[in-house]
Structure 1
Amino acid sequence: MSKETKQGLVLIVGSINTDLVARSPHLPRPGETIGGHEFSEHSGGKGGNQAVAAARIGGRVAMAGCVGADANGKVRLAGLETEGIDCGAIEIDPSLPTGVAMVTVADDGQNTIVVVAGSNGQVTPEMVKRHEAVIKSADVVVCQLEIPWDSVYATLVSAKRFGKLTVLNPAPATGPLPAEWLPLVDYLVPNEVEAAILAGLPVESQSGARRAAKELQRAGARNVIVTLGSQGAYLLPEGGEGTHFPAPKVDAVDTTAAGDTFIGVFAAQLAARQPVEAAIDLAQRAAAISVTRAGAQPSIPTRHEVDNAS
């Protein structure tokens, strides 16, 4: 691995889950029971996925989060350590089980996910305070919304106090973000559904992404990247013109963790001091590979695989 790809430290503050994945011919409708044809169990959680993506692309990565004192917690923690991730800021809570995500994946690659937070709910502002040393040592700090929102806010406040670059993946989004959050965010990276919820505008195309990004920028975010799945990504930089980045064409098998792959790779490239355009390009290529494979963390490619993809 080159020195360039190891510059800087990415800190992921977020969720760690066990993914229970069922594959089926189509996604069940409300009240419908259908037969599945495959079941698997994987390491997951948006925070864990993003940390693994950043590590596999060549980044130097630390993670802050919480697992339970159960078998799942031991396996999840060991998996992150195997990836070379610094887990010194991951706490073990004996009162709650490790988080679980129940994932249904249809044969066309689409999915539905139900998350039970478990020990992820123990990532409190007090815990963030206990691990401010790793925030201070990081170059890029990444958050999502699968931990308590007040803890996300505490992380953003601490990161900006130490002058760190911040990335917020507002997922899952349930409504507009608090007004005081966006000025703390250097890169806001929602997908099209999340952008529509946050901006209160439809996002069904590049033009919709542009309108939503402008609205979110007016609300305080410096740079906005709306990921659009197979349609690519739209970047609205601070003080600049928007740019659309087409996505590589692939046959999707499972879209689980595609967004997390994008975020982790993007953050690692920012920490490696790469231009944002190059970071988006590499992140999209990695995400495109991930959707051709089943599972969350098992689908995330290495740097070698991305560089050698046709």
Structure 2
Amino acid sequence: MIWNLGSINADNVYYLSHLPGPGETLAAEKFKQGLGGKGANMSVAAARAAAKVVHIGAVGQDGKWAIDRLLDYSVDTRHIAVVDGPTGHANINVDAKGENSITLFPGANDVLPKKMIGAALAEAGPGDFLLMQNETSGQNFAAETAKTLGLRVAYAAAPFSAKAVQGVIAQVDLLVLNAVEAAQLQKETGQTIESMAVSDIVITLGGSGCKWISNKGESSRLFSAYAVDVVDTTGAGDTFTGYLVAGLDRGFAMEDAIDLALRAGALMVSREGTADVIPDLKEIQDHDFS
């Protein structure tokens, strides 16, 4: 089972000819609003990969629709609190090539009480996964609690903060980050990725695939991406991570979990949107990637 301490956002997506520069005003060609947040995206992806997922998070009074949407995607929502203040949201600009820029407002994601996190994890069992990203409060407490209870800890280091990573890295079993974040972490810590005391590290490389570093096995391996026409890269990394952790939770070998995650990420970038368009397992199994 996967216990995801994760953000829940309303995604406001603006489709533009190009990403605006400083002082530039652009009229959007299209607008969509839907469920998002790295945490919600990963919960939906993991659930669509046939894993059992419990989401730990919070929304404001204006965000009860998001709880219903997660439930529609078979995510267990018993540990999502409704708190005072606004639900988190993201304003996402997407250009004609599918690249994006994102502005986040954390809202309810930033006021998660420790007692709520502790009450949720008290139901977890040894061997379960705790999945986290850097879009909520309570990460250090959750990681320490999870390790005490015998859970495996997976951490997606985004939005990147070296301080946030260093706060939890002693408890992390699987670290997922992109190439830019990996370079930033090495610069901030003065350590190479290969020398970090994390059993498994996966560095996503966009259209080039990903790199798996097994510090436990003292090995590394590159995986190529599956070629698709890119429409929108928003949520692709979250889809990859959700599928990766789901595969591992279901007992896949790391190589097989990564391959499944790459397939899911490839389908995701061929679609417009975030959580609401994450592919399910049958779509991935039926798709011809050749």
TM-score after normalising by structure 2: 0.94
Give the letter for the 2:95 counterpart. A
- Residue 290 (str. 1) matches residue 275 (str. 2): no
| Closer/same/farther in 2, CA of residues 145 and 179 from structure 1, 3 Å limit | closer
Q: How far apart are the structure 1 equivalents of 2:153 and 2:9?
A: 23
Q: How far apart are the structure 1 equivalents of 2:187 and 2:27?
A: 37
Q: How far apart are the structure 2 equivalents of 1:105 and 1:117?
A: 20
Q: What are the ranges of 5 or more consecutive residues in structure 1 without an aligned counterpart? A: 1-8, 202-211
- In the TM superposition, 1:82-121 aligns within 5 A as 82-93=72-83, 95-121=84-110
Deviation at 1:133, TM superposition (A): 2.0
TM-score after normalising by structure 1: 0.88
What is the DSSP-based 3-state SS (H/G/I as helix, E as strand, rest coil) of the residue aligned with 2:136? coil
Give the letter for the 2:23 counterpart. G
Contact 2:109–2:135 (Cα < 8 Å) also in 1: yes
- In the TM superposition, 1:1-310 aligns within 5 A as 9-70=1-62, 73-93=63-83, 95-136=84-125, 139-148=128-137, 151-177=138-164, 179=166, 181-200=168-187, 215-238=192-215, 239-310=217-288
Deviations 1:197-241 (A, max 9, x none): 21128xxxxxxxxxx9x7234232221100011010000012231
Q: How far apart are the structure 1 equivalents of 2:47 and 2:106?
A: 24
Deviations 1:38-87 (A, max 9, x none): 001010000000000011111111110001112xx111000001111111
Deviation at 1:179, TM superposition (A): 3.9
Contact 1:24–1:35 (Cα < 8 Å) also in 2: yes
- Aligned residue pairs total 287
Contact 1:263–1:283 (Cα < 8 Å) also in 2: yes
Q: How far apart are the structure 1 equivalents of 2:185 and 2:6?
A: 20
Give the letter for the 2:56 counterpart. A
Identity %: 35
Q: What are the ranges of 5 or more consecutive residues in structure 2 without an aligned counterpart? A: none
Deviation at 1:136, TM superposition (A): 3.7
Deviation at 1:126, TM superposition (A): 3.2
Q: How far apart are the structure 2 equivalents of 1:178 and 1:53?
A: 23
Give the letter for the 2:145 counterpart. S
Q: How far apart are the structure 1 equivalents of 2:18 and 2:124?
A: 42
Contact 1:136–1:159 (Cα < 8 Å) also in 2: no
Give the letter for the 1:286 counterpart. A
Contact 2:202–2:210 (Cα < 8 Å) also in 1: yes
